[in-house]
Amino acid sequence: MQGDVPFQCSKCWETLEKNECYEHQGKVFCEDCYMDILSPMKACDPWAVHSAQSFLKGKDKLSTLTPLQLNIVNYLKGKGEATIEEMMENFNLAEEVLRREFAVLRHMEILKATKKGDKIFYLLF
Ligand SMILES: [Zn+2]
Ligand 1 centre to CA of 31 (Å) is 7
Ligand 1 centre to CA of 49 (Å) is 18
pLDDT at site 17:
86
Ligand 1 centre to CA of 10 (Å) is 7
Ligand 1 centre to CA of 82 (Å) is 23
Helix or strand holding residue 27 (H, E) = strand 27-29
Where b means 16+ CB within 10 Å and e means fewer, 29-67 reads bbbbbbbbbbbeebeeeeebeebbeebeeeeebeebbee
What residues are paired with 119 via a beta bridge? 116
Q: Are 14 and 34 in contact (CB under 8 A)?
A: no
Ligand 1 centre to CA of 92 (Å) is 31
pLDDT at site 1:
45
Ligand 1 centre to CA of 75 (Å) is 28
pLDDT tens, N- to C-terminus, the chain (125 residues): 444 567 899 989 888 888 888 888 888 999 888 888 877 654 555 555 555 555 555 456 777 788 899 999 999 999 999 999 999 999 999 999 999 999 889 888 899 999 888 889 999 98
Amino acid at 50: H
On whether the pTM is more than 0.75, the answer is no
Ligand 1 centre to CA of 22 (Å) is 10
Ligand 1 centre to CA of 17 (Å) is 12
